Amino acid sequence: MLFAFLIISTASGGWLYPEQIHLSWTENEGEMRATWVTYLPVSSVISFRSMLCLDIPNPTEWIYVQGSSKKFQAGDKISNIEYIHTGVMTGLRSECKYEYSVGDGLFWSDLNVFSGRTPDYQAPWDTRGFEIIVLGDWGTGPNGQYTRHIINQEAKFRDFDAVLHVGDMAYDLDDNNGKVGDQWLRIVQPISANYAYMTLPGNHEKDDNFTHYKQRFNMPLNDANQGTGYFYSFDYGPAHFVMFDTEVFFYYSNDTQQTQLNWLIQDLQKANQNRDLRPWLILLSHHPLYCSVNWEIPLLQSNKDCGVDTIKLQNDLEEIFYSNAVDIYFQAHVHNYERESAIYHNKTVPSEYDGPHIHIGPKAPIYITNGNAGNRDGHNDPTSPTPQEWAQYWSNDYGYGRLKIFNDTHLYYEQYSAPLVDTIDYVWVIKTAKRYN
């Protein structure tokens, strides 16, 4: 009976076959975590090997990792039960590429490939430059397909190191009894199975207390986040990245906010002690601190997002960002692209030199809104026809950003328009001196 059931299920929908494969970096150097889903309770195995190293040209032996799994009730019905598997590949070397497959020992996924370069937490320090994709507000619908098509192509050429998703995914992970989340994770798999795909929560993840976000993603652990993946940080090349959760300021109690703020302050202080080695401090979170208000259409969501909510977050966070000399804050949520100058207390802070596409020696955080990978609702937050004085460039085009940090002094960011298949904006940020303690 059971045997027949398995055969039929496999033939009809691949209930044993691993899907929704996504990678993430962990809190340890030289590790890559894989997470995937099956619809039957099978065992969790990863096999991996180095396939291309600078010093070892031939593949090594396969290494098998026993992972673990949990039962996840993704919706109301018994048919919505899924099994989320995870396991960690260790001992990775940054000069190697790895190939791997996930499965139950019998049914394996196709092979995927990732780079052994991971966050760098210990000597010898790896402060080489890198290139990372930054995007936000990305769903399953037609608006997101342009972005997906282009990043899929770039993924094949291994043109970047990782993806940072600044909240709001799938629209929503839990919709239609979790089927929307399943579908989105299948759609992004060509990217997420081959690169670390690092996430933080947005407001669209909030249903059932962010349950789907917590269960489906495995982000680096720290003492404060209790395994939730809401907030964490990592060092990569010459940068310290902080993935932060602004949603707690809207949906959670003062206690929860304070826990995260305490963690943030400690994390930034530690980053500043280490800033000679890693001069760049990049913070990312879903809700904006600054964006131009669109007062012309009275009922627009952006009047709240950029008018009321930004003021709340400025009160809660701006002083911390400023006093710790955060270089760039990437924000999303508003469905457009807006690059802003260095700002403090709602005013442009002049750098040593400012041009239309360059800031040399900035003296306050630069803000970039990037919530336009392609959300469900279209442009419900069109760019303001009357941008604020600190707005440098703005666009409604669906797309994403690319952050390149070359070295201790040179950072380059460009915004890519998916429909135009071209770069529409860029900025250089150049450090001239220390701006921290």
Give me the residues that bind ligand NAG (CB under 6 A), please: 209, 252, 254, 256-258, 261, 311, 346, 388-389, 406-407, 409-410
CA distance linking residue 203 with residue 48, whole number of Å: 36
CB 171 within 8 A of CB 191: no
With respect to ligand NAG, which residue has the nearer C-beta, 209 or 269?
209
Q: Whose Cβ is closer to Fe ion: residue 118's or residue 372's?
A: 372
Residue with Cβ nearer ligand NAG (233 or 303)? 303
- Contact partner, 254, from ligand NAG, Fe ion, none, Cβ < 5-8 Å per class: ligand NAG
Q: Residue 333 binds which one of ligand NAG, Fe ion, none, with CB within 5 to 8 A depending on kind?
A: Fe ion
Output the six-digit token pair for 169: 């995914």
CB-based contacts of 78, cutoff 8 Å, min separation 6: none
Partner whose footprint covers residue 168, from ligand NAG, Fe ion, none (CB < 5 to 8 Å by kind) = Fe ion
Distance CA 216, CA 228 (A): 10
The site partner of 406 among ligand NAG, Fe ion, none (C-beta below 5 to 8 Å per kind) is ligand NAG
**Binding at 203: pick from ligand NAG, Fe ion, none (beta carbon under 5-8 Å per type):** Fe ion
DSSP string, 73-138: E-SSSGGGEEEEEEEEE-S--TTEEEEEEEESSSSBPPPEEEES-----SSSP----EEEEEE--E
Q: Which residues pair with 236 in a beta bridge?
A: 239
The residue among 104 and 174 lying less far from ligand NAG, judged by its C-beta, is 174
Stretch 310-349 residues interacting with Fe ion (CB under 5 A): 333
9: how many CB neighbours lie within 10 A of its CB?
Answer: 15
Q: Which is nearer to ligand NAG, 183 or 257 (CB)?
A: 257
Partner touching 389 among Fe ion, ligand NAG, none, CB below 5 to 8 Å by kind: ligand NAG
- Shortest approach of Fe ion to residue 430 CB, angstroms? 32
Distance CA 268, CA 280 (A): 11
CB of 373 to Fe ion, least distance (A): 12
Amino acid in position 403: L
Under 8 Å between Cβ of 312 and 249? yes
**Which residues contact Fe ion (rule: CB under 5 A)?**
168, 202-203, 333
